[in-house]
Every structure is written in structure tokens, then in C-alpha cells.
């Protein structure tokens, strides 16, 4: 229990010391003695429940506006009504106070950027834990509080939930937390009240423009830059042309740049395919703190180099030390991000990978990165989501046709559209190339075809679903985990050795 003035201390409004039993922003959870914060959402305006809060004897209400009847209802019920400029900001600051400012008890690393956030976050966690730092994680794939794993709904949770997770991490003995900080999360003040120890910028490219997201690229860029007005040290991509805009008006005490360019503080000298420990490993040579380092890591492609550099630089910045680079290398090597270049141990002859690439830009980056590591054919399997721009289908079809040796076109999340109509659009993009392709609408059948078609040295990529474990059809999400589909195909084939390897990697498959 807290007093109203304790919760609103940073809001610059005059309040009293009345007791608050609960902090509530969902009108369905209004109860006696609570502080109700009215949020205007996309589908429901919480301000319409102000009178309801008074009727249910809420201790106080924070709102951006209220009509005369609502004001009268609060006055007659003895419910304190305070008008604030932004109730999302108020919710974040009150939530931090409600949970006793848990971020202040943790070393916090926030990561923003268009691509690479999830991979970098998992790399940071793995490297930090190799150094003996118990680390929590909040991101697109999951939330790890140090005691439980929770599937994510939003990349950056609502501020109340975020503060709740941070408190749980602190209570569980975490010393560090790494979180993905989305532009939407920054725009909606979900991380307000957190003074990040380290803020990381990965890269910037056009995305998330449209209704319910950002009105234009300038707004998208501005929202990403907000992280660097609430962190002490910034770790930024020296090679991205938008980095100066990201750092404009920053309030950081220190700026560390990583990349391939001469002005990088942590500079990659080379990043080349390695042929010593497997076809998907790379040799990285880089300089930092006046010294040269070498690492051999199980990640292909130039974009992986940026993820590695950003992660190791963030960890070093948080520790204020470049020591123990061998432990950092070991941690990076162990990092496994579900659905991001995730290799499944199905065969010693060919490679099978699951990746979340679900637009043309991501798919092109992935295929170009993998080409240098593939001794045989690149076989790419993908579909496109329904109720989305048709241009994505044409573009992905064209990219795969240009860069793959064989494309297997299948279904993704058809939603309200017919899968065969979506496939026809992808084929139209494919027709602009000379790429070979087959179409198999059923995703399990398509995966079985790709696995059986693969020969020695081939690399099969299951693109688009990544960490998702469902397929959305006509508004219903049906369970579909590609790891389970692969396992069921191996079981059907009687491949017991591969089944054993899969169960060792994914113990839950033993029950399938």
C-alpha cells in the first residue's frame, strides 16, 4: 500500500496522503481504494469510466480530461480527481513508484533499432551470464524474470507490467536486465522513469508506418531517439547514416560507437566465413580499448557482425571493462535466439534453419549472408500473411527467386484470405526471375518436401514463422510449432538418431 503523494511525486501535481490499495489502469479492475489512471486506447477510452471509479469508491483518479458530471461524481464520492497532461506518462511514473523503483536496483540495458533487437538482447544475456551476472530479459520472443519464462505480447510491455517484471527480477536475484525498447514503447512512455545504464542503437530502416503505428519516418526516428535522452551511456552503430539523428539532443554521459568504419571505438577489422568448425561459423577480428581480439562464432553474415559488436560493447559498457573477453566469446557462442537463424540438429548431411524473416529486406539480408556459408543449394520455404500489403508478396517472391536455388512457396498466416490466392501473388513476384519453385499450400507437407529434397551440403531455410507457435486462419490461432512439425516428419521417417538430437535440444518434443 502506498499514499497518493508517494505515487504521484514526479507528476508535479498537488495531492494528499490518502492511502491507495491498488494501482489500476484497466476499468474492469477498478476497486475500492484504488488509484485509477484513465488511458485513451485505440478501441476504448478509459476516461468513460471515471464516474464508475467514483461509484466504486476509488481513492483517486488521474485523467487527461473530465466533463462536469464526472467531476461532480468524484466530488460527491470523495474521490480525488487530478488532471494531468499525459496519463500514459503518469501510469509509467506511478507504476515505478508502486513497485519501489525496481530499475534502480538493476543494471539496465535498453536496445532499440529496426532490426537485430531480439538477437542482440539474447546475446547480451548469454554473455553477461557467462560473466556470472544473473540477467533478466524483456523482448519480442519472451520475458525471462530469472525464475520463469513468459511469452511476450508486446516487444515492450505496458509500463505497469514492465515495472512488475523488473521487481520480480530484482527479487529473484538478477543483477542486470536487458530489454528491447520499441519505438511504440517509447512513444507510449512505457519505459518512462527508467534511467538506463546503457542504451543501444542497432540500425534504422523504413518500417512501422501506418495507422496505429507512426505517422511518418520522421516520427518513427524521433521516437527511437528518445531512448538516448534517458540513458547514461549510449552504444551506437557507427556505420548507420541515421546515428547522428538518433543522438541529436542526447543527454548521455558517454557515447561508444561500434562498426566497421574508422571512427568506431569497437571496430571490426574483418568478419569472414570460417571453415574450421562448421559451415555457419565466422571468424571475427576487432579492436577495442587499444587491443585486438579474435573470436570464432557460430553466426553467418555481416548483419551478425553488427549484432555481435553491439552485444559485446553493451556488456563491456555496463561493466565499464573490456576484460574477460574469452568469457564474453563463450557466452556469445552459446546464445540461441528462438526463430532467429535457429539451426535444428536434424542431419549431418544438410542444414535446416528456422528464421523469422517475413519481409523482403529481411529475407534478402538472410539469403545473402547464408550464401557464403552454403556448399550446396539454398532451399527457401516461406509464405506471406493475409490481410497485409500485396506488395510484400511480390517482393519476397522476387527476392527468393533471385537468391535461392529452389523456393518452396507455402502458407504462413492466411488470416481471412485464401492461401492459394496469397501463393499466386508470391508466384507473380517469382515470375520476374529465373528461380525454380514449387507450391505446396500445407506447411507441414511443404516442410517434409524440403527436407526430403535436401542433399548433402544443402541449406534449407524455413522463413517467416520464427518464434511463432501458431497459424492464424479466419481469426483463430491454431497451434503450429515448426520444431514439432520437423520432429513429426523425422518420426514418420523413422529417423531415431535425428529425433534423439532434437529431443536433446528441445526436451518438450519427447512428449510429442
What is the domain-level CATH number for residue 42? 3.40.1390.10
Judge residue 227's burial from the number of C-beta atoms within 10 Å of its C-beta, 0-12 exposed, 13-18 middle, 19 or more buried.
buried
Task: To the nearest 10°, report the CA torsion of 220, 224, 229, 232.
Answer: -170
CA distance 68 to 406: 67
10/84 same-domain check: yes
32-50 pLDDT per residue, tens: 999 999 999 888 999 999 9
Main-chain phi, psi angles of 332, to 5 degrees: -60, -40
Least confident of 53-62, 119-128, 369-378, 469-478: 369-378
50/88 same-domain check: yes
- What band does 277 get if pLDDT is binned at 50, 70 and 90? very low
CB count in 10 Å sphere of residue 25: 24
Q: Say if residues 236 and 243 touch (Cβ distance below 8 Å).
A: yes
Domain boundary among 284, 299, 334: 334
What is the domain-level CATH number for residue 388? 3.90.190.20
411/496 same-domain check: yes
Q: Tell me, what DSSP letter sits at residue 295?
A: E
248/189 same-domain check: yes
Secondary structure of residue 365 in the 3-state scheme = helix
Q: Say if residues 36 and 58 touch (Cβ distance below 8 Å).
A: yes
Mean pLDDT of 253-261: 98
70-99 pLDDT per residue, tens: 999 999 999 999 999 999 999 999 999 999
**Do β-strands 176-180 and 149-151 pair in parallel, antiparallel, or remain unpaired?**
unpaired
Q: 129: which residues sit within 8 A by CB, 6+ positions away? A: 135, 331
CA distance 136 to 158: 17
Longest dimension (CA), the chain: 78
Residue 459 has pLDDT above 70, yes or no: yes
Q: How far is CA 392 from the centre of its chain?
A: 21
Secondary structure of residue 472 in the 3-state scheme = strand
Question: Could you give the angle at the alpha carbon of 131 between the alpha carbons of 128 and 136, nearest 5°?
Answer: 30
92/117 same-domain check: no
What pLDDT, on the 0 to 100 scale, is given for residue 209? 54
Q: Say if residues 135 and 198 touch (Cβ distance below 8 Å).
A: no
Residue 155 has pLDDT above 60, yes or no: yes
Main-chain phi, psi angles of 173, to 5 degrees: 90, 10
Domain boundary among 58, 78, 96: 96
Q: Say if residues 287 and 238 touch (Cβ distance below 8 Å).
A: no
163-201 pLDDT per residue, tens: 999 999 999 999 999 999 998 899 999 999 999 999 999
CA distance 402 to 120: 29
Q: How far is CA 336 from the centre of its chain?
A: 14
What pLDDT, on the 0 to 100 scale, is given for residue 128? 98
CA distance 380 to 176: 38
- What band does 325 get if pLDDT is binned at 50, 70 and 90? very high
Secondary structure of residue 179 in the 3-state scheme = strand
Judged by phi (left if over 0) then psi (alpha if -120 to 50, else beta), residue 249 lies in: left
In the 3-class helix/strand/coil scheme, how is 138-198 assigned residue by residue?
Answer: ECCCEEECCCCEEECCCCCCCHHHHHHHHHHHHHCCCCEEEEECCHHHHHCCCCCCCCEEE
Average pLDDT, the chain: 94
59/122 same-domain check: no
SS3 percent helix, strand, coil of the chain, rounded to 5, is 40, 25, 40
What pLDDT, on the 0 to 100 scale, is given for residue 278? 44
What is the domain-level CATH number for residue 138? 3.40.1190.10
CA distances (Å), 75 to each of 15, 71, 128, 286, 357, in order? Answer: 15, 6, 52, 65, 54
CA distances (Å), 470 to each of 9, 140, 425, in order? Answer: 44, 15, 23
226/349 same-domain check: no
What pLDDT, on the 0 to 100 scale, is given for residue 501? 95
What pLDDT, on the 0 to 100 scale, is given for residue 212? 60
Least confident of 108-117, 267-276, 358-367: 267-276
Q: Say if residues 300 and 277 touch (Cβ distance below 8 Å).
A: no
From first CA to last CA, the distance across the chain in angstroms is 46
Beta bridge partners of 143: 138, 150
304/450 same-domain check: no
353/317 same-domain check: no
CA distance 495 to 497: 6
CA distance 165 to 159: 10
194/84 same-domain check: no
Residue 141 has pLDDT above 60, yes or no: yes
Domain boundary among 334, 352, 367: 334
Extract the C-alpha cell encoding 296: 570464432
Q: Say if residues 180 and 118 touch (Cβ distance below 8 Å).
A: yes
Q: Is the dihedral of CA 494, 498, 501, 503 positive or negative?
A: negative
The secondary element (H helix, E strand) that includes residue 342 is: strand 342-344
What pLDDT, on the 0 to 100 scale, is given for residue 401? 97
Domain ranges, residue 419? 342-511
Mean pLDDT of 358-375: 89
Least confident of 119-123, 302-306, 410-414, 492-496: 302-306
- What band does 4 get if pLDDT is binned at 50, 70 and 90? very high
Residue 75, CB half-sphere, CA atoms under 13 Å: how many?
Answer: 7
Q: Say if residues 136 and 144 touch (Cβ distance below 8 Å).
A: yes
**pLDDT greater at residue 19 or residue 275:** 19
Buried b (16+ CB within 10 A) or exposed e, 94-111: bbbbbbebbbeebbbbbb
301/163 same-domain check: yes
Extract the C-alpha cell encoding 340: 532467429
Mean pLDDT of 53-57: 97
What pLDDT, on the 0 to 100 scale, is given for residue 208? 54
CA distances (Å), 398 to each of 141, 165, 395, 428, in order? Answer: 28, 42, 5, 8
220/263 same-domain check: yes
Q: Say if residues 164 and 100 touch (Cβ distance below 8 Å).
A: no
Specify the number of domains making up the chain. Answer: 3
Amino acid at each position: 500500500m502506498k499514499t497518493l503523494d508517494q505515487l504521484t511525486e514526479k507528476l508535479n501535481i498537488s495531492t494528499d496522503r490518502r492511502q491507495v490499495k491498488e494501482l489500476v489502469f484497466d476499468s474492469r479492475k477498478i476497486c475500492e481504494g484504488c488509484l485509477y489512471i484513465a488511458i485513451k486506447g485505440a478501441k476504448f477510452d478509459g476516461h468513460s469510466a471515471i464516474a464508475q471509479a467514483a461509484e466504486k469508491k476509488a481513492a483517486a483518479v488521474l485523467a487527461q480530461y473530465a466533463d462536469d458530471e464526472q467531476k461532480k461524481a468524484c466530488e460527491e464520492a470523495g474521490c480525488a480527481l487530478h488532471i494531468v497532461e499525459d496519463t500514459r506518462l503518469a501510469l509509467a511514473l506511478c507504476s515505478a513508484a508502486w513497485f519501489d523503483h525496481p530499475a534502480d536496483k538493476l543494471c539496465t540495458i535498453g536496445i532499440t533499432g529496426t532490426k537485430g533487437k531480439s538477437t542482440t538482447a539474447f546475446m547480451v544475456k548469454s554473455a553477461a551470464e557467462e560473466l556470472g551476472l544473473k540477467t533478466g530479459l524483456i523482448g519480442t520472443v519472451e520475458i525471462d524474470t530469472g525464475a520463469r519464462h513468459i511469452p511476450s505480447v508486446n516487444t515492450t510491455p505496458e509500463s505497469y507490467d514492465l515495472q512488475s517484471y523488473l521487481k520480480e527480477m530484482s527479487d529473484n536475484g538478477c543483477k542486470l536486465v536487458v530489454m528491447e525498447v520499441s519505438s511504440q514503447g517509447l512513444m507510449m512512455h512505457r519505459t518512462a522513469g527508467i534511467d538506463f545504464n546503457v542504451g543501444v542503437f542497432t540500425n534504422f530502416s523504413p518500417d512501422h508506418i501506418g495507422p496505429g503505428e507512426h505517422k511518418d519516418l520522421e516520427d518513427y526516428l524521433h521516437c527511437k531517439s528518445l531512448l538516448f535522452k534517458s540513458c547514461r551511456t549510449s552504444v551506437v552503430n557507427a556505420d548507420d547514416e541515421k546515428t547522428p539523428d538518433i543522438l541529436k539532443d542526447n543527454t548521455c554521459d558517454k557515447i561508444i560507437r561500434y562498426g566497421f568504419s574508422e571512427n568506431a571505438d569497437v571496430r571490426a577489422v574483418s568478419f569472414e566465413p570460417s571453415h574450421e568448425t562448421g559451415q555457419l561459423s565466422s571468424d571475427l577480428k576487432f579492436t577495442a580499448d587499444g587491443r585486438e581480439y579474435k573470436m570464432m562464432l557460430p553466426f553467418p553474415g555481416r548483419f551478425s557482425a553488427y549484432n555481435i559488436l553491439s552485444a559485446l560493447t553493451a556488456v563491456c559498457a555496463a561493466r565499464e571493462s573490456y576484460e574477460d573477453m574469452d568469457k564474453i566469446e563463450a557466452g556469445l557462442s552459446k546464445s540461441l535466439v528462438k526463430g532467429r537463424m535457429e539451426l535444428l540438429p536434424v542431419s549431418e548431411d544438410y542444414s535446416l534453419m528456422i528464421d523469422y524473416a517475413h519481409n523482403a529486406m529481411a529475407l534478402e539480408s538472410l539469403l545473402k549472408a547464408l550464401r557464403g556459408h552454403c556448399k550446396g543449394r539454398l532451399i527457401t520455404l516461406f509464405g506471406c500473411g493475409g490481410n497485409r500489403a500485396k506488395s510484400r508478396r511480390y517482393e519476397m517472391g522476387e527476392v527468393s527467386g533471385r537468391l535461392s536455388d529452389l523456393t518452396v512457396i507455402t502458407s504462413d498466416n492466411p488470416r481471412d484470405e485464401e492461401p492459394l490466392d496469397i501463393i499466386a501473388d508470391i508466384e507473380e513476384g517469382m515470375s520476374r526471375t529465373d528461380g525454380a519453385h514449387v507450391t505446396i499450400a500445407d506447411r507441414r507437407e511443404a516442410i517434409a518436401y524440403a527436407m526430403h529434397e535436401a542433399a548433402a551440403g544443402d541449406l534449407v531455410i524455413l522463413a517467416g514463422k520464427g518464434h511463432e507457435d501458431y497459424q492464424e486462419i479466419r481469426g483463430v490461432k491454431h497451434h503450429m510449432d515448426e520444431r514439432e512439425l520437423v520432429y513429426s516428419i523425422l518420426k514418420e521417417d523413422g529417423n531415431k538418431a535425428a529425433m534423439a538430437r532434437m529431443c536433446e535440444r528441445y526436451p518438450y518434443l519427447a512428449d510429442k
